[in-house]
Amino acid sequence: MNLIAAVDKNWAIGYKNQLLAHIPADQRFFRRMTEGKVVVMGRRTLESLPGGKPLKNRTNIVLSRNPSYSPEGCTVLHSIDELVHYLEQFNTEEVFVIGCEKIYTELADYCDTAYITCIDKSYEADAYFPNLDEDVRWELDPDEGESEEQTYFDLIYFFRKYRKAD
């Protein structure tokens, strides 16, 4: 499985259930990587999407402890074990974990690739992604590690691809 996220200098991903920055090239990258694929998210991530609606042209899976939660257009699962079993029907390379902090943390051990947009700025935040630079199990992909510096107005950012170390 894959992790995909945009993080700031402190590996922050959000504040008050919103993204920290909206970078068009990052949004295009996210769309290109996940269209036609399976996306796994928590309830709050689904509710933060435009209109609280599932992403188009993707299989949307939402993890929620609430047994009565049933948003239209999504498969709702209630535990990591249930999710792992459900995902057996899919090619793991086609599955992308897209948020929230708790879901990233709980599923990182099941993933072997992470696509991270690293924004060279610190934001006020209340949600964080696991810091892959400090986790000895993860390393920058030796072939595709880091893009050239990118800019969007005054923001500097990089696309990074991490692999779980063998």
Walk along the chain (166 residues) and give the pLDDT tens digit of each residue: 999 999 999 999 999 999 999 999 999 999 999 999 999 999 999 999 999 999 999 999 999 999 999 999 999 999 999 999 999 999 999 999 999 999 999 999 999 999 999 999 999 999 999 999 999 999 999 999 999 999 999 999 999 999 998 7
Contacts of residues 25-34 at CB distance under 8 Å and 24 or more positions apart, as own/partner, are 25/150, 25/152, 26/117, 26/157, 26/159, 29/115, 29/117, 29/159, 30/4, 30/98, 33/2, 33/4, 33/96, 33/115, 34/4, 34/58, 34/96, 34/98
* Alpha carbon 157 to chain centroid, angstroms: 17
Kindly tell me the burial class for residue 92, based on how many C-beta atoms sit within 10 Å of its own C-beta (0-12, 13-18, 19 or more). middle
pTM, entire model: 0.97
What is the structure's pLDDT at 74? 98
What is the structure's pLDDT at 52? 94
Positive or negative, the CA dihedral 123, 127, 131, 132 is: negative
- Listed by start position, the domains of the chain span 2-164
User: Phi and psi for 95 in degrees, rounded to 5?
Assistant: -110, 130
Domain spanning 2-164: which superfamily? Dihydrofolate Reductase, subunit A (3.40.430.10)
Q: Per the omega criterion (within 30 degrees of 0), is the bond before 100 cis?
A: yes
What is the structure's pLDDT at 166? 73
* Alpha carbon 146 to chain centroid, angstroms: 17
C-alpha–C-alpha distance, residues 115 and 1, integer Å? 11
